[in-house]
Every structure is written in C-alpha cells, then in structure tokens.
Structure 1
Amino acid sequence: MSDAVLKTTEQKMSKSIESLQRELAGIRTGAANSSMLDRVTVNYYGADTPINQLASISVPEARMLVVQPYDKGSVDDVLKAIQIADLGVNPTSDGTLIRITVPQLTEDRRKEFVKDARKEGETAKVAIRNVRRDSNDDLKAEEKAGNISEDELRNLTDDVQKLTDKFIAQVDSLCDDKEKDILEV
C-alpha cells in the first residue's frame, strides 16, 4: 500500500510539472511561437473553443505567426479573441488569414514576463507541496491503521520529501531556462 502512495505521489507531482511546462510555453519570448496562442479561446457558435481547434497556426518567419481559420466566416471572431487575449501583439487580417507580427520585447516587458514565469513556478511549487502534504497524511493514516510501522512511516516520509525536492528542483530549472529565453535579446 505504501508503495502505491509513493507512486501516486510521483504521478501527481509529474502532472504539476507538465502543467507548468504548458503555462511557461504560453509566456512570450522574443521570437514567434505557436504555443503563444494556446491560452486563446474563441467564442465560436456560443462555445469557447481553443484556437488550435479552429485554425492552423504556422510560423513562416522568426517574428511572425500566421493563423488560418478553417471556417472563413470565423476570421473576425478569431481576430477579436487574439486581441482580447492581451498577448502584447497586434494581429491584422486580410479576410482569409490573420498575420501576427511579434514585436521586439522592451526591457520592462521582459521583466514583466520573467515575473509571470516565476509566478507560474511558485504555483507549481505550491501544488507539489500540497501533494506532499496529502501523501504524508495518507501515510500517517496507514500507520494509525496498523498497516505500517513507525520506522516505515519515517522512511516513507523521507522518500516523499526526496520526491518533493526532486520536483521542486525541476520547477526551478524550468523557470531558470524560461527566464534565460525571455531575457535573451
């Protein structure tokens, strides 16, 4: 049973890392990246739909994204959704496709994006610590039920802490890498 708790703990912490990677991918660096639009949803026939389900997104140049909606009638809706998303870009449309020129980031904007990345990192750390707390509670319940001894509880709690430290280090590494990408001119 206690091995199952460790396995579940590791799976949940891995999901926190995956979530962090998705969030960091959405934070803009100086270059165009199709994942910038991952958080954009379009009100399409009354339902909020992710933009990547309504259009093909390509990167023809280092500083340009091209969004081509599958339904030509939704071009204005997609354009409006990108403008509302506050990505710091100004999309233009020619009626059939949308071009997004990614401007060079100012120093202030770069610092702002670094703060956003760090905030996402802290959110991931909190999620990982919450998983640790829940796992430790489960292990204490196992000990109270008599399924594991006090020594086993101590060893398993140490194992959970080692997992926590490992995943916190991954969060720091991901945030440091993203910070370097953002600050790179």
Structure 2
Amino acid sequence: MIGELLKDADKRMKKAVEVLKADFAGLRTGRASTVLVEDIKVDYYGSTMTIKQIAQISVPEANQIVIQPWDASVVPNVEKAIRESDLGVQPQRDGNIIRVILPPLTEERRKELVKKAGKMAEQARIAIRNIRHEIMKELDKLKKEGGYSEDDIKRAKDELQKITDKYTKEVDNLLQKKEEEILTI
C-alpha cells in the first residue's frame, strides 16, 4: 500500500512537470514556433476547435509562422482568433494563407514573459506540494489504522520528500532555462 502511494505521488508530480513543459512551450521567446498558435481556439461552424485541427502550420523563417486553413471560409475566423489571443501580434492575410510575423521582443515584454514563466512554475510547485500533502494525509491515515510500524511510515514520508524535492528541482531547472531563453536576444 505504501509503495502504491509513493508510485502514485511520483506519477502525479511527473504529470505536473509535463503540464509546465507544455505551458512553457506556448510561451513566446524570440523565435517562431508552431506551438505558439497551435492551441488558439477558433470558431469553426458553431463549434470551437484549435488551429492545429483545422489548418497546416509551418515556420518558414525564424520570425514567421504561416497558417494555411484547409477550409478557405474559416480564414477570417482564424485571423480574428490570433488577433484576440495574448500573443500580441497582428496576422497578415495573403489570400487563403495567414502570416504571423513575430516582431523582436522589447525588454519590457521580455520581463513580462519572465514573470509569466515564474507564475507558471509556481503553479507547478503548488501542485507538487498539494500532492505531497495528500499523500502525507494518506500515510497518517495508514498509521492510525495500524498494520504499519511508525518506522515504515517515517521511511515512506522521507521517500515522499525525496520525490517532492526531485520534481521541485526539475521545475526550478525548467524555469531557469526558460528565463535564459526569453532573455537571450
């Protein structure tokens, strides 16, 4: 039972780190990436879909993203969705193709992005701590119910802390790399 709880904690904490990685991938740096626009929601015949579901996305240049919807009638909706997103760019329509030119980031915008990355990392740390807290409660419950010695519970809590520290350190490393990436001109 203790082993299962620790495996569960490890799996859930790993998932929190994976979510952070996905969030960081969508955070704009100085280079164009398809990830920046893939998950922008677009109104598509009354339902909401992501750009990656309705268009081909490519990066022909380091500062440009090209979006080519498979259905030409949805081009204005894609254009509007990009304009209203928090990317802070103006899409340019070229027939049935939409070009998104990413201007160089200003120092002020870089600092905003670093703050945003910090908030995302803190959310991941909070998720990890909450998981640790839940598992600690479960271990205390096992101790009260009996069947496990105090030493077993103590070892399990120590192991849980090691797992927590491992994933917290991974979050810190990811944040440091992302900050360097954002601040590099």
SS of structure 1 residue aligned to 2:91: strand
2:184 paired with 1:184: yes
Q: How far, CA to CA, are the matches of 1:23 and 1:117 in structure 2?
A: 9
2:66 paired with 1:69: no
Please tell me whether the aligned partners of residues 39 and 52 of structure 2 are also in contact (alpha carbons under 8 angstroms): no
5 Å-filtered alignment, 1:47-62, equals 47-62=47-62
- Tell me the residue number matched to 1:83: 83
SS of structure 2 residue aligned to 1:139: helix
SS of structure 2 residue aligned to 1:136: helix
SS of structure 2 residue aligned to 1:29: coil
SS of structure 2 residue aligned to 1:90: coil
Unaligned regions of 5+ residues in structure 1, if any? none
Unaligned regions of 5+ residues in structure 2, if any? none
- Tell me the residue number matched to 2:120: 120
Offset at residue 127 of structure 1 (A): 0.2
Q: How many residues align?
A: 185
Offset at residue 90 of structure 1 (A): 1.3
- Tell me the residue number matched to 2:93: 93
- Tell me the residue number matched to 1:166: 166
Q: Which moved more, 1:80-89 or 1:111-120?
A: 80-89
User: So what's the TM-score if we normalise by structure 1?
Assistant: 0.98
Offset at residue 143 of structure 1 (A): 1.3
State the Cα RMSD in Å.
0.9
Displaced runs of 4+ in structure 1, greater than 4 A?
none
Offset at residue 89 of structure 1 (A): 1.4
User: So what's the TM-score if we normalise by structure 2?
Assistant: 0.98
Please tell me whether the aligned partners of residues 128 and 168 of structure 2 are also in contact (alpha carbons under 8 angstroms): yes
- Tell me the residue number matched to 1:103: 103
